[in-house]
């Protein structure tokens, strides 16, 4: 196999993670923080393009890495139009939609943009891998009972797919022959039914669906939410930020630090204990609904994300869902490694790079 060198770019709201990989071996992975003073002057996230590009060039120069040494540049995928899972070549249409923010503004929109700009320097190709808008839902999973609103697939697709492939290897079967329920447990929580390589049902972890999480509300009783919308307590933008960023655990406990919640429980805080149990119950109920979507044919229930390090939380979920199938726990997430692996699958010819058309393919 070719000894490919890859540059991986993962922009966050206040940082840019950069990785240099020799095949799947990480040579360097670092996170460069950006202060509010540095970012405050940009009206839109995409306006940060040149600033972040220069940051990347400075990083490579400092590490004495020449730009033209890369065989591919892999960026984090952004809020594009819905698309199937895979590794996508960055194209002019993709760049147009990322800059326009067709499904919203997010730092990850810069991933493909920056990857393309660096790739132009080293005359190689730029890719993104499994962005959050991966959409493989069954048509019947899109209905809400409210014709004006359809369920959308927005979830932690990159980690879902990477961990599902890992679990499939551990099961000794190809991912495309496995049925799994994958629960990404982090600041947001997404629970997906993976059937033979496709996520046929999953909650929208960004826009208020599924379990509540450390920072997000999840599904809220609709009538009560309508009352709150027209109460005069919040503007539209304030309420949106409340639902995804200032809800869930942080709204009850004034912290999103789950280690602190665990410390409170150990110290005898009954409210913290009850809240953790409530979140575990909601996750477990979501897993149960995905079991129905798979007709009960489940090779494994996979728990991943930062909260999968929390043994008390994992034990609660295991207690409530273990009867559905074997449970595998892969704590944390490694987005940089997953992005590199996605690029390698294309370079090695294991899969063909997809072309983004701006409409569902």
pLDDT tens digit string along 205-263?
A: 888 899 999 999 999 999 999 999 999 999 999 998 889 888 999 999 999 999 999 99
Confirm if 265 and 315 have CB atoms less than 8 A apart.
no
Same-domain pairing of 80 and 180 = no
Q: Compute, in degrees rounded to 10, the torsion defined by CA atoms 67, 68, 73, 78.
A: 50
Same domain, 292 and 351: no
Residue 268 included in any domain? yes
For the chain, the domain total comes to: 2
Instruction: Tell me, yes or no, whether 147 lies in a domain.
Output: no
> Based on the domain organization, do 303 and 343 belong to the same domain?
no
pLDDT of residue 37: 87
- Whether residues 166 and 312 share a domain: the answer is yes
Residue 27 CA: distances (Å) to CA of 3, 19, 332: 13, 7, 20
Strands (E), the chain: 5-11, 15-22, 25-33, 72-76, 87-89, 125-129, 179-185, 189-195, 198-202, 300-305, 327-331, 354-355
Is 184 within the bounds of a domain?
yes
Instruction: For residue 24, give the CATH number of its domain.
Output: 3.30.420.40
User: Taking the C-alpha atoms of 330, 178, 205 and 79 in order, what is their torsion angle to the nearest 10 degrees?
Assistant: 100
Give a yes or no: residue 144 inside a domain.
Answer: no
Q: Are residues 172 and 280 in the same domain?
A: yes
The separation between CA 302 and the C-alpha centre of its own chain, rounded to angstroms, equals 15
Position 360 in a domain: no
Tell me: do 71 and 195 sit in the same domain: no
Residues 172, 122: one domain?
no
* DSSP SS3 for 355: strand
Establish if 169 belongs to a structural domain.
yes
**Quick one: 300 and 201 in the same domain?**
yes
Residue 142 covered by a domain: no
Note whether 110 and 81 are same-domain residues: yes
pLDDT at 186: 93
- Whether residues 274 and 170 share a domain: the answer is yes
135 in a structural domain: no
Q: Which two tokens stand for residue 331?
A: 């704590």
Supply the pLDDT for residue 122.
86
CA distance linking residue 338 with residue 163, whole number of Å? 9
Residue span of the structural domain in which 81 resides: 5-130+336-355
Distance, CA of 94 to CA of 358 (rounded, Å): 7
For residue range 139-172, list pLDDT tens digits in order: 999 999 999 999 999 999 999 999 999 999 999 9
Under DSSP, the state recorded for 142 is S
* Judgement on whether residues 328 and 347 belong to the same structural domain of the protein: no
pLDDT for res 361: 46
Residues 260, 119 within the same domain: no
Distance from chain centroid for Cα 230:
32
Residue burial 14-46, b: 16+ Cβ < 10 Å; e: rest: eebbbbbbebeebeebeeeebeeeebeeeeebb
φ, ψ of residue 294 to 5 degrees: the values are -100, 10
Q: Which residues of the chain have pLDDT under 70?
A: 359-361
CA distance readout (Å), 98 to 84, 109, 183, 190, 358: 17, 5, 27, 23, 10
How far is 254 from 246, CA to CA, in rounded Å? 9
């Amino acid at each position: 196999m070719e000894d490919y060198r890859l540059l991986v770019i993962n922009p966050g709201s206040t940082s840019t993670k950069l990785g240099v990989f020799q095949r799947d071996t990480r040579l360097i992975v670092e996170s460069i923080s950006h202060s509010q003073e540095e970012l405050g002057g940009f009206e839109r996230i995409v306006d940060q393009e040149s600033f972040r590009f220069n940051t990347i060039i400075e990083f490579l120069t400092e590490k004495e890495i020449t730009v033209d040494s890369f065989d591919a540049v892999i960026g984090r995928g952004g809020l594009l139009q819905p698309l199937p899972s895979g590794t996508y070549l960055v194209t002019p249409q993709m760049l147009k939609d990322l800059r326009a923010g067709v499904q919203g503004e997010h730092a990850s929109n810069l991933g493909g943009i920056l990857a393309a700009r660096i790739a132009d320097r080293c005359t190689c190709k730029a890719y993104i891998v499994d962005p959050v808008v991966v959409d493989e839902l069954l048509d019947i999973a899109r209905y809400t009972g409210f014709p004006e609103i359809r369920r959308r697939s927005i979830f932690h697709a990159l980690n879902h797919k990477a961990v599902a492939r890992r679990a499939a290897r551990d099961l000794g079967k190809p991912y495309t022959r496995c049925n799994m329920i994958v629960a990404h447990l982090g600041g947001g929580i997404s629970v997906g039914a993976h059937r033979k390589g496709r996520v046929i049902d999953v909650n929208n972890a960004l826009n208020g669906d599924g379990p509540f999480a450390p920072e997000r509300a999840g599904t809220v009783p609709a009538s009560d939410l309508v009352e709150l919308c027209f109460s005069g307590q919040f503007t539209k933008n304030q309420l949106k930020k409340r639902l995804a960023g200032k809800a869930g655990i942080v709204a009850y406990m004034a912290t999103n630090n789950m280690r602190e919640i665990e410390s409170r429980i150990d110290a005898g805080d009954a409210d913290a204990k009850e809240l953790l149990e409530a979140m575990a119950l909601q996750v477990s109920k979501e897993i149960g609904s995905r079991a129905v979507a798979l007709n009960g044919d489940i090779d494994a229930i996979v728990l991943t994300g930062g909260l999968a390090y929390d043994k008390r939380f994992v034990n609660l979920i295991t207690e409530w869902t273990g009867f559905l199938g074997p449970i595998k726990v892969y704590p944390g997430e490694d987005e940089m490694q997953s992005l590199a692996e996605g690029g390698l699958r294309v370079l090695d010819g294991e899969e063909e790079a997809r072309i983004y058309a701006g409409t569902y393919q």
